[in-house]
Structure 1
Amino acid sequence: MAKVISEHGRPVHEVVLALGERGWTLADLVRTFAVPRRTVEEVLAALGEDLAPGEALRIRADRVPEYRQRFDRRTTGLADPLGPALAAVPDLLAEVTRVRASAPPPRRALDHVAATPETAVRRALWLDAHFDLDGAHLLCVGDHDLTAAATCLLRPTLTATVVDVDERLLAYIDSLGLGIRCVFGDLRFGLPAAAAGRAALAFTDPPYTPDGIGLFLERAIEGLTPGGRILLAYGYSPRTPALGLAVQRTFGELELAVQAQWPAFSRYDGAQAIGSASDLYLLLPTSKAHRKGRAKPTIYTHGEQSAEASSAAPAAVATALVAAAAGPDRLPVLGAAPTPGALRGPELSGERALGALWTGGVPGPARAGAVAVDASADPGSWLLRILLAVDARRLAVAVGNNHPDLADAAGQQALAELVAPKWALRFRRSTPGPTSAIVEAVAAPDPTDPGDRLVRHVLDRAHGRLTNVWRDALTTHTGRAKPEAAARVAEYLPAPAGIEADGTLMETPRHRLAPLIEAIRASAP
């Protein structure tokens, strides 16, 4: 025990004293005292036979007095500055707890570890205590913890925007009716334009890799107005300080000053390696704050997109993908992949970075040919966005065989119907092997139905501002003057208007696309 205490100090005292008061689970000890699981396990091992038998972890009653005398030497205890404020909002905590319980489950591949409902409320209270939230704009760069929802419940006059790659989360937040603006975006390919340069405050609890932290901070910088602040939740184990140092160096690289740091502010249901806790950093961008252009797809700590994983498809998949794109006419193929040089084949005529395709589509000359996209690392949301981004005669996309859009007939049908005015899809599962699949898309013929012509016009211009593209579709295909067409767009825009009002189709959450497409179709005379 002496060795454990000398290495870890006061936190070990707290754990030992708590074990003398009542029974605990290992997870509760880790989260309550923000001590890494490995350290708690060392404490338990050092206690040995002094632990009482049974499932609950506690010190034997006859041994408790000795441990209290030995470890209860605290002379100063710091009060929780948010304690009184938290106690004053029991209804808010109950509502956030209810909302959290119905939220989509965490996705391990996206490094989701759910913060406790109390943490979401504490974040809202902290923001309210330090900033004037009435009429302010908060950007959440990823928000699985529902920080935006908790803060808007506390301050309904706050404007909040959530940017996330998880379509389930965006649909859920939208369903809460809090007026939170939900924007789809994979931050590896940039911050959506609809969220750029708008917020005075940005909050992020990113993947805890140096590349993940750096990328999310870059996007937060892009989302701020001059003089804005960034709130970062980040934790590391005191057993591995080098990891923490690597992240803290990123602050300097991005010209971010650490204005304040609150240890163990956030608590989680999981992440026991770092004590189920993270610190809260208040970061102040300098006038030179900038982005470094991080675009690595492997920013996470788990799964196919982890820092240790390869983002390239196997050679057999890459070869089959290009052949599928070329099709029977052996069209020239423009390749796009996370890793340069990953695709190969005699039909390959050139390459375009996946991020460039995502944000800008296909160059004009390539639209007469085919496009092959390696999306083997697709987290589940890339396939639809690639179908929206690409304009060409043919398109082939490699994805995992368990991709949610391919897993069953219902998913395949839903995707096919969504893009039917633009593409005819063929799903080739288990191709060329059991873990991969290729989706082939052939450009649909020009529609004859007036409504479908409008939809096709919009789908072919997914990177343009939606209201402008829709207006231009009406002027092109119905002969309406621009003012009349703009008024018709405003009339048919789905209510309540969200990202559709000033964003692009690429940024519109998936759950809003079907109603939007129906509205576009209905706006035809």
Structure 2
Amino acid sequence: MGALVAEYGVHSRAIREVLVALTDRSWTLADLVQTFAVPRRTVEEVLAALGPDLEPGDLPRIRVDRVAEYRRRFGADHLRATALADPLGPALAEAGDLLATVTRLRAAAPPPRRALDHVAATPETAVRRALWLDAHFDLAGGHLLCVGDHDLTALATCLLRPELTASVVDVDERLLAYIDRAAPAEGLAIRCLVGDLRFGLPPAATGRAELAFTDPPYTPDGVRLFLERALEGLTPKGRILLAYGFSERTPALGLAVQREFGELELAVEAQWPAFSRYVGAQAIGSASDLYLLRPTNKARRKASRGGRPTIYTHGEQSAEASGGVAADVASALVDAAAGPQRLPVLGSAPVPGELAAALAGTGELAGTGELAGERSLAALWTGGVPGPARAGAVAVDATADPGSWLLRILLAADARRVAVAVGNQHPDLGDAASQRALAELVAPKWALRFRRSTPGPTSALVEAVTVDEPADPGERLVRHVLDRAHGRLVNVWRDGLVAVAGLSKPAASTRVTTALPAGRAAPETDAAGARRGLAPEADASLMEIPRHRLAPLFAAIRASAAP
């Protein structure tokens, strides 16, 4: 054991802390990693070096007859005497009720999704983040943007300081639905917006927040992308809080990420080592550092809106899995989009170029001129279909869909036909009820056909064909809104009432204001004119509104068309 400690030299303190802890009681390996923020491989080295000095059994502990020697030899008294007090310790000790509430909320939240690199932070971490923010900023009356929030940092911070408002942007619709239920139940002003950050920050979240918090995927591209979106969400004097960790064994990865700070013109104002603790992520010691980043005046010009589809470390959207759409899927997809009419097809994929071979090699599309070609999924998501292509068809490769793309594609695309390739286990295709729910949601615009296990066992195709404009005024008004999913909802709705119900613009505006779901029609405004406490329907587009709010929204739209 002495040889291992000597090998680490002045960096051996964490190893000594592990050794002394093992003289006190039995530990699980996961608890040792998380408590001391030591990588799993390092803990395993320590346990291997201890060998016969460990008690027999599954949970390691140093033998009783060796405890005194180990405590003396590795300086237990010195460790205790020189340990620094936790500056948040007193505040955390007084935050028992907050911790209990956050623990309850965390237990009821959706489980982590490995494909989105979710690793759950402990409830105590969420509370510590809130306490740290409250100790360093005047949160009352401020606005916090959480760029992804699986750890419920927005809930914890607003519970501590209810005068704070927050926006949460995430691609996980389950999480948004949960936060959107939990926040009003706790009396909190938290607005949820759906957005895949690879395609941009939702416009309704842009330029609103004084503080942005993010705990991104720990790839250099992932960290940079989430920081870029945080930048887009800030007011001119805003700050970014970043949770990021790397193993002591991989300093090159940490350097690659930290270089992104300079590339983005972000100054590091503070760094707190091992601030956040996680259930998992043992390779980095189940911990991450907290960075306080200050943008320079050039920072926003450095941010790019270009998509980075392979920001994750697992699943279909990881760098290792980014081989593009399979040839047989691309061929079947383009054929399904063209349909019996052999319509010209616009291809759309996460990365431009993936459908090019299928589009170029399909004889039926020859001579289609400007209608054939490609448009990235990011462009489709944020801007829809170019005008000339709306008389044709759209083929979309969404085989890497994390679960939220399919509906957004159907909202975004305006064409006679749309075909979307997804995984065969996509949540919207899992059973008849799931298929029916999606079909009913978009029924005023699309008739859907679900083709599972097509063209092979791992893929599926969803075909959408435009339906005739409904005769019922309420359904026609919903169709009007669906056809303009990128426009600001309240304006689109108002203009639809003018066209469908024959109202004047002022009367239509009044009806929209009173009909908005949950009665949250008018945004609160502070002395500086900044909007506070908005429901997503108040100033967002249909593309930004979480899925769980769409059915009640459409019901309100239908009802508003009545005389």
Task: Give the TM-score category using the shorter length.
Answer: over 0.9
Question: 1:236-277: CA deviations, max 9, x gaps?
Answer: 000010000000000000000000000000000000000000
Question: Matched residues in 1 for 2:345 and 2:39: separation?
Answer: 51
2:163 alignment counterpart:
157
**1:338 counterpart (350, 353, 358):** 350
Question: Matched residues in 1 for 2:448 and 2:189: separation?
Answer: 35
2:548 alignment counterpart:
511
CA contact 2:337–2:394 (8 Å) conserved in 1: yes
How has the CA–CA distance of structure 1 residues 496 and 248 changed in structure 2, closer, same or farther, with 3 Å as cutoff? farther
Q: Which amino acid aligns with 1:484?
A: A
Question: Matched residues in 2 for 1:484 and 1:420: separation?
Answer: 28
The gaps in structure 1 that reach 5 residues or longer are: none
1:241 alignment counterpart:
251
Out of 37-46 and 48-57, give the one that drifted further: 48-57
Length, aligned pairs only: 525
How has the CA–CA distance of structure 1 residues 39 and 187 changed in structure 2, closer, same or farther, with 3 Å as cutoff? same
CA contact 1:51–1:57 (8 Å) conserved in 2: yes
Question: Matched residues in 1 for 2:108 and 2:415: separation?
Answer: 41
2:102 alignment counterpart:
96
Question: Matched residues in 1 for 2:487 and 2:18: separation?
Answer: 57
- Higher share of residues assigned helix: 2
CA contact 1:394–1:440 (8 Å) conserved in 2: yes
Question: Is 1:376 paired with 2:399?
Answer: yes
Deviation at 1:309, TM superposition (A): 1.6
1:251 alignment counterpart:
261
Normalized against structure 2, the TM-score is what? Answer: 0.92
CA contact 1:138–1:200 (8 Å) conserved in 2: yes
1:312 alignment counterpart:
324
CA contact 2:147–2:226 (8 Å) conserved in 1: yes
What's the RMSD between the two structures over aligned residues? 0.9
1:4 alignment counterpart:
4
Q: Which amino acid aligns with 1:521?
A: R
Question: Is 1:20 paired with 2:32?
Answer: no
CA contact 1:215–1:294 (8 Å) conserved in 2: no
Q: Which amino acid aligns with 1:474?
A: L
Give the 5 Å matches for 1:449-460.
449-460=472-483
Q: Which amino acid aligns with 1:440?
A: E
Question: Matched residues in 2 for 1:429 and 1:4: separation?
Answer: 56
1:223 alignment counterpart:
233
**1:59 counterpart (51, 57, 62):** 62
Question: Matched residues in 1 for 2:407 and 2:305: separation?
Answer: 25
Deviation at 1:311, TM superposition (A): 5.2
Question: Matched residues in 2 for 1:3 and 1:314: separation?
Answer: 53
CA contact 1:311–1:338 (8 Å) conserved in 2: no
Question: Is 1:135 paired with 2:147?
Answer: no
- Which aligned segments of 4 or more residues in structure 1 are displaced greater than 4 angstroms? none
CA contact 1:311–1:376 (8 Å) conserved in 2: no
Q: Which amino acid aligns with 2:142?
A: A
Out of 302-311 and 207-216, give the one that drifted further: 302-311
Normalized against structure 1, the TM-score is what? Answer: 0.99
CA contact 2:477–2:497 (8 Å) conserved in 1: yes
CA contact 2:164–2:189 (8 Å) conserved in 1: no
Q: Which amino acid aligns with 1:346?
A: G
Question: Matched residues in 2 for 1:466 and 1:16: separation?
Answer: 60
CA contact 1:231–1:280 (8 Å) conserved in 2: yes
1:299 alignment counterpart:
311
Deviation at 1:493, TM superposition (A): 0.6
CA contact 1:254–1:292 (8 Å) conserved in 2: no
Give the 5 Å matches for 1:337-486.
337-343=349-355, 344=358, 345-347=362-364, 349-486=372-509
Give the 5 Å matches for 1:23-172.
23-72=26-75, 73-74=78-79, 75-172=81-178
CA contact 2:22–2:60 (8 Å) conserved in 1: yes
Deviation at 1:171, TM superposition (A): 0.4
CA contact 1:305–1:311 (8 Å) conserved in 2: no
Q: Which amino acid aligns with 1:20?
A: T
